[in-house]
Amino acid sequence: MKPLKHLTLILAASAFAALLIAAMFALPPPTVNLAASVAADMDRSGTAHPVTAVLLNFRGYDTLLEIGVLLLALLVVLAVSPREQHAGSAAAEPVLQMLARIAVPLMLLAAGYLLWAGAYRPGGAFQAGAVLGAAAVLLFLAGLLPGWNAPTLRLRWGLAGGFLVFLAVAAALLGQGALLRYPPEAAGALILLIEAALTVSLGLILAGLFLFLS
Amino acid sequence: MTDPLAWLILLPLFWATGAFLLGPGRGARLAIAGVAVQLWLAFALAAKVGAGGTAPAGSAASMGTAIKHAIGGWGAPLGIDLAADGLTAVMLLLTQGVALPLLLFARGYFAGDSAAVRYFWPLTGFLLAGFNALFLAADLFNLYVTLELVGLAAVGMVAMSGTAAQIAAALRYLFATLIGSGMYLLGVALIYGAYGTVSIVTLTPLVNADAPTAVKIAGGLMLLGLMLKTALFPFHYWLPPAHGGAPAPVSALLSALVVKASFYLILRLWTGPFAPLADAVAWLPALLGSAAILWGSWQAIRAVRLKMLVAWSTVAQLGYLFLIFPLLGADGLALQAGGMQVVAHGLAKAAMFAAVGVLIHVTGRDAVADVAGAASRMPVTLFAFGLAGVTLMGLPPSGGFLAKWLLIEAALAQGQWWMVAVILSGGLLAAVYVFRVLRQAFLLVPNERRHRFAKSAPLLEWMAFALAAASVLVGLRGMEIVRLLGAVA
């Protein structure tokens, strides 16, 4: 019975994949060319890189909600993680520790650079935050950082701060007539403010998804 | 506070974050104050929408003429728009209107239970923000993000008190909801590939003009994914353990609102961009809906545990919503029936789970047999359960009666006799499972061994009663809701 079931599943999945591929080859060229609209409005977006412009300005509302989803994921992890926890990881190899001590300052530097580079080339808060989160995980694995228990007030501000800054900017810009309507002259500064706050919070959230469970 | 559209989304996000910053278990008052303001905002929006002209809600034209908010000032398709018409206004009113009494209920219910409540308030804030953002969205990708907010918050709330059974139910629910969103997202990607835009207003005429195979696949995927999330038979397998296992205020939020969010999206897409593709398969959801009514009611009649009975009743009641699809026509009757059923069932099911929550709280047990003799101890709670049952059975003058009346009228207008038979037998089956509980509570003498009732909390009883009364009284104000459903500003 079981091999037959597997075979049916495999056949169905392959047929669906073939159908998808065939359908995609038959696609006509898209009617709406959004890339052209993005290029036309780049000089009013407050940043020089189209990806950052789409993420933080043109479709900034999606990004705002996505940060909400990440914070929410952390809340779910906190809600289900056991209350009593052991602190610290076991093995502390001297070689790993030395390597971590060398790597982590460089990772902090790299995160700062990625944040800054996001204004005019690929990069930005998500990438920088991922590097920060990785640095925290490395410190934990090397035994230099204990696992996290219930978050303290300071850590809670760190986790939610980026989202709160983004939310506050979005609400404040309602005064301009619409949610997240940056005035073109201040757009660059506001986007940098949001990205800087997001970098810290995303780093902590990504680290938290690992460290609250370990 | 000038723009209800933006603040309905921002406000719950603010108080959710605030409740998280305050710390585990804190933030109840903040949340209740926030939802009270949201209810006021929803009324303001409904008044604004209702003041406009009328056209069939949800039709292709209605999205184009609704109240709009161009986020960032860019406008679709470059930016993201929010849009509100009559259907949106009704869903927003229902959401805030069910949430306010339920949060007051939850505050009393969780008093002293520090484990379950640790992250209840921030999770609820994100859940409500997800609802409001979903109902206001007019962009397929933005809708995906809001689906994720709703789904993840709901899974977290099922899992939060951390028993093994609940974690298992939550994990099952997580897989179902992730597969559903994944199918939806694949569909969105295909549509973006075909047309280069995800704005519903821009898409609708494009799909009408020409729909390549990829778009048909996309429509099918999105529909299937959303049916899975709405727990339509036979995709209902995840619902009873998740809804029946969660704490009562969470079950109420899940059954009253969460499954309605994905139904709303199906309706929105079906009557909007996918209208030209949908007619050919309209009988499919109706057949599945009929099966859901019969199977869900049968399981509710057989259920041993009280909360499972109510959860299976949700499976059955969701079936009615899918009967409307072959009947959607120019007269708008079927759409009004669907909207009315969403409202009536939302209020009634919230009331029923709240009442059952009080019963379990007081008797300390979760079997139908254990409520024997409870009527003399908790008349208000049993009355609330009975009133909610009146709505589920569809007796006049309740909202459920009006919904079924409109549905039967729409079915007769199109000569679908078999559907009338399904609707009527569904009402009879509902009467059987409702009276199963009431008979125990009123007629049977409690077993001496079990006769240990804890003290009941009046606030909890009266909140359940308020919701149940609203589910009946909404039938008397039904014409206003029907008019709002057809209103387009």
Banded model confidence at residue B210, pLDDT cuts 50, 70, 90: confident
Are B394 and B344 in contact by the 8 Å Cβ rule? The answer is no
What is the least distance, in Å, from the CA of A33 to any CA of chain B? 6
Name which of B17, B69, B212 is nearest A164 (Cβ-Cβ).
B17
Same-domain pairing of B252 and B392: no
Same-domain pairing of B68 and B178: yes
Domain boundary among B249, B281, B313: B281
Name which of A69, A160, A163 is nearest B152 (Cβ-Cβ).
A69
Residues in B touching A191 (Cβ below 8 Å): none
Q: Do A167 and B20 touch (CB under 8 A)?
A: no
Same-domain pairing of B257 and B367: no
Nearest residue of B to residue A70, measured between CA atoms: B149
Token code pair at residue B193: 């590939």
Are B321 and B374 in contact by the 8 Å Cβ rule? The answer is no
Q: What is the pLDDT of residues B323-356, one digit of tens each?
A: 999 988 777 888 899 999 999 999 999 999 999 9
Name which of A31, A61, A164 is nearest B196 (Cβ-Cβ).
A31
Residues 6+ apart with CB under 8 A from A123: A113, A114, A115, A116, A117
What is the least distance, in Å, from the CA of B207 to any CA of chain A? 11
Q: Do A31 and B80 touch (CB under 8 A)?
A: no
Are B45 and B35 in contact by the 8 Å Cβ rule? The answer is no
Name which of A57, A66, A72 is nearest B126 (Cβ-Cβ).
A72
Name which of B17, B115, B142 is nearest A61 (Cβ-Cβ).
B142
Residues in A touching B77 (Cβ below 8 Å): 32, 34, 37
Same-domain pairing of B299 and B309: yes
B14 pLDDT more than 90: yes
The pLDDT of residue B57 is: 45
Q: What is the pLDDT of residues B101-111, one digit of tens each?
A: 999 999 988 88
Where does B96-193 show beta strands of DSSP type E? none
Domain containing residue B189: 1-281
Domain boundary among B255, B281, B307: B281
* ipTM of the prediction: 0.92
Write down the pTM of the prediction. Answer: 0.94
The pLDDT of residue A30 is: 81
Q: Do B152 and A79 touch (CB under 8 A)?
A: no
Q: Do A167 and B10 touch (CB under 8 A)?
A: yes
What percentage of residues in chain B have a pLDDT greater than 90? 60
Q: Do B190 and A24 touch (CB under 8 A)?
A: yes
Same-domain pairing of B192 and B324: no
B458 pLDDT more than 90: no
Name which of A34, A38, A178 is nearest B72 (Cβ-Cβ).
A178
Same-domain pairing of B114 and B184: yes
Arithmetic mean of pLDDT, A86-110: 83
Banded model confidence at residue A87, pLDDT cuts 50, 70, 90: low
Q: Do B20 and A156 touch (CB under 8 A)?
A: yes
What's the CA gap between B130 and B133, in Å, rounded? 5
What's the CA gap between B461 and B464, in Å, rounded? 5
> Mutate which of A76, A77, A209 to disrupt the B interface (most B C-beta within 10 Å)?
A76
B1 pLDDT more than 50: no
| Helical (H) or strand (E) element with B67 | strand B67-71
Q: What is the pLDDT of residues B160-202, one digit of tens each?
A: 877 888 889 999 999 999 999 999 999 999 999 999 899 999 9
Nearest residue of A to residue B9, measured between CA atoms: A65
Position with higher pLDDT, A126 vs B53: A126
Token code pair at residue B98: 């069910």
> Mutate which of A71, A75, A167 to disrupt the B interface (most B C-beta within 10 Å)?
A75
Name which of B160, B170, B196 is nearest A33 (Cβ-Cβ).
B196
Same-domain pairing of B83 and B117: yes
Q: Find the farthest-apart pair of alpha carbons in chain B and give their distance in angstroms, rounded.
A: 71
The pLDDT of residue B64 is: 41
Residues in A touching B129 (Cβ below 8 Å): 68
Q: Do B162 and A167 touch (CB under 8 A)?
A: no
What is the least distance, in Å, from the CA of A115 to any CA of chain B? 23
What is the least distance, in Å, from the CA of A195 to any CA of chain B? 17
Domain boundary among B281, B309, B340: B281
Q: Which residue has the tokens 């030395």?
A: A98
Nearest by Cα to A177 from B5, B45, B44, B134: B5
What count of CB pairs under 8 Å joins A to B?
165
Nearest residue of B to residue A31, measured between CA atoms: B195
Same-domain pairing of B443 and B383: yes
| Helical (H) or strand (E) element with B82 | strand B80-84
Q: What is the mean pLDDT of chain B?
A: 88
Q: What is the pLDDT of residues B128-152, one digit of tens each?
A: 999 999 999 999 999 999 999 999 9
The pLDDT of residue B454 is: 67
A50 pLDDT more than 90: no
Q: Do A32 and B195 touch (CB under 8 A)?
A: yes
A150: alpha, beta or left? (left if phi > 0; alpha if psi -120 to 50): beta
B98 pLDDT more than 90: yes
Q: Which residue has the tokens 């109510």?
A: B310
Q: What is the pLDDT of residues B62-90, one digit of tens each?
A: 444 578 888 888 887 888 999 998 899 99
Arithmetic mean of pLDDT, A128-152: 89
What is the least distance, in Å, from the CA of B190 to any CA of chain A? 8
Q: Helix, strand, or coil here: A27?
A: coil
Q: What is the pLDDT of residues B23-52, one digit of tens each?
A: 888 889 999 999 999 999 999 999 888 876
B448 pLDDT more than 60: no
- 10 Å CB burial of residue A8 (0-12, 13-18, 19+) is exposed
The pLDDT of residue B468 is: 93
Q: Do A178 and B71 touch (CB under 8 A)?
A: yes
The pLDDT of residue B58 is: 45
Nearest by Cα to B236 from B352, B305, B316, B307: B316
Q: How many domains does chain B have?
A: 2
Nearest residue of B to residue A20, measured between CA atoms: B214
Q: Where are the alpha helices (DSSP H) in A42-93?
A: 50-53, 60-80
Q: Do A76 and B159 touch (CB under 8 A)?
A: yes
Same-domain pairing of B324 and B435: yes
Are B45 and B84 in contact by the 8 Å Cβ rule? The answer is yes
Residues in A touching B80 (Cβ below 8 Å): 59, 61-62
| Helical (H) or strand (E) element with B84 | strand B80-84
What's the CA gap between B469 and B473, in Å, rounded? 6
Q: Do A27 and B202 touch (CB under 8 A)?
A: no
Q: Do A80 and B202 touch (CB under 8 A)?
A: no
Q: What is the pLDDT of residues B389-435, one digit of tens each?
A: 999 999 888 999 999 999 999 999 888 899 999 999 999 999 999 99
Same-domain pairing of B261 and B378: no
Q: Specify the amino acid at residue B340.
A: M
Residues 6+ apart with CB under 8 A from B336: B406, B482, B485, B486
What is the least distance, in Å, from the CA of A200 to any CA of chain B? 16
Same-domain pairing of B467 and B371: yes
Name which of A22, A59, A170 is nearest B10 (Cβ-Cβ).
A170
Residues in A touching B212 (Cβ below 8 Å): 23, 26-28
Same-domain pairing of B446 and B298: yes
